[in-house]
């Protein structure tokens, strides 16, 4: 893209992970993430606790990112940060730190949309991973978002479908809570699903017009199913946990693939990219690969470490914006409900 030696620091603090990454001409030199284990005890992210943890973590995380990249802060050309969407308290920590650092170094500040980060993570230079050509369809699936986005250029994106209630990650976590699994439940359901029969139990898919999603009805259906079965057999969940997880995951994947098939039919675009934490799910990844044979799709799945919330995806967006000279004003503010 550019023959210059450009170093960008990316900072991500939209939810419960404090992350910093350094990118050099499109290639990641470091990608440091500090996870917050404190939320596991509460079965979900507690915003106030997340904000406090970000304040504790952000300086050492940035320091480690620079150290691992083997550069000094004076070599940075710009600082990119997550403007939104996310938890306001968490966003404020990253925003304030990025603004102060950029101002102190007298270098450009670049604001990044978190959801664009998930999509543009595909453009990180990484051996063995292809970059989707424009136009392509991106499905962003995470704990807070479920969207299908038409991508015509780096910053020309149109949301053509999204959830009207729960996100797919919430569907996994709430189902896991019903089953007595820990938080986050997605990885545990994925692990158990590999050991179970995906067609053991049938759950109804919500009927939603167009390309939008709904998962709240599925969660309610699972709750009633478990309540009815445990009345007849108190050990039902324990005896059938793998089959239940496999059936839940099979249903959720079916909802996602059905909407993707419709999106491909409506747009004529057969290049499909996924992003977001839930794209780490092995069942979803396999279903997309199967779609290449069944439906003639070409699918793009990012490197595992770039799927969940991370600063590498913020850094690549910062790099692309830097090349276009698209910088933020010093008075830029965080936005919890920022749209693509």
Residues annotated in a binding site for substrate:
140-144, 173, 186, 190, 281
- Sheet order of strands, 109-113 included: 27-35, 17-24, 7-12, 78-84, 109-113
Annotated binding site: 114, 118, 140-144, 173, 186, 190, 281, 309
Angle between helices 186-193 and 282-295 (to 10 degrees): 60
CB of 112 closer than 8 Å to CB of 141: no
Binding residues for Fe cation: 114, 118, 309
Report the alpha-carbon distance of residue 254 to residue 233 in Å, rounded: 29
CB atoms within 10 A of CB 39: 19
User: Which pair of structure tokens corresponds to residue 171?
Assistant: 């569907």
């Amino acid at each position: 893209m550019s023959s210059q030696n450009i170093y960008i620091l990316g900072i991500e603090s939209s939810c419960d992970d404090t992350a910093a990454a350094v990118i050099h001409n499109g290639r990641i030199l470091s990608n440091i993430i500090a996870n917050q284990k404190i939320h596991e005890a509460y079965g979900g992210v507690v915003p106030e606790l997340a904000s406090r943890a970000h304040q504790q973590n952000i300086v050492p995380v940035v320091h480690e990112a620079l150290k691992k990249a083997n550069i000094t802060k004076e070599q940075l050309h710009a600082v990119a940060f997550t403007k939104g969407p996310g938890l306001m308290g968490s966003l404020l920590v990253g925003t304030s730190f990025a603004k102060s650092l950029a101002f102190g170094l007298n270098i450009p500040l670049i604001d990044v949309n978190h959801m664009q980060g998930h999509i543009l993570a595909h453009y990180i230079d990484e051996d063995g991973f292809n970059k989707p050509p424009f136009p392509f369809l991106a499905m962003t699936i995470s704990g807070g978002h479920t969207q299908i986005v038409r991508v015509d250029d780096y910053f020309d994106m149109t949301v053509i479908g999204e959830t009207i209630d729960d996100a797919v990650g919430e569907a996994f976590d709430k189902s896991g809570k019903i089953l007595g699994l820990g938080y986050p439940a997605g990885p545990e359901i994925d692990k158990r699903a590999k050991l179970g029969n995906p067609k053991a139990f049938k759950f109804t898919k919500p009927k939603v017009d167009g390309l939008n999603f709904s998962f709240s009805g599925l969660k309610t259906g699972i709750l009633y199913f478990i309540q009815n079965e445990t009345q007849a057999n108190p050990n039902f969940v324990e005896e059938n946990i793998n089959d239940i997880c496999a059936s839940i995951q099979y249903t959720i994947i079916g909802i996602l693939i059905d909407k993707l098939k419709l999106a491909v039919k409506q747009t004529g675009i057969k290049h499909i990219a996924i992003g977001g934490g839930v794209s780490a799910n092995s069942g979803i990844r396999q279903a997309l690969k199967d779609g290449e044979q069944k439906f003639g799709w070409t699918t793009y799945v990012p490197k595992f470490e770039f799927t969940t919330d991370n600063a590498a995806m913020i850094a690549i967006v910062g790099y692309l914006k830097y090349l276009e000279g698209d910088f933020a004003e010093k008075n830029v503010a965080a936005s919890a409900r920022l749209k693509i």
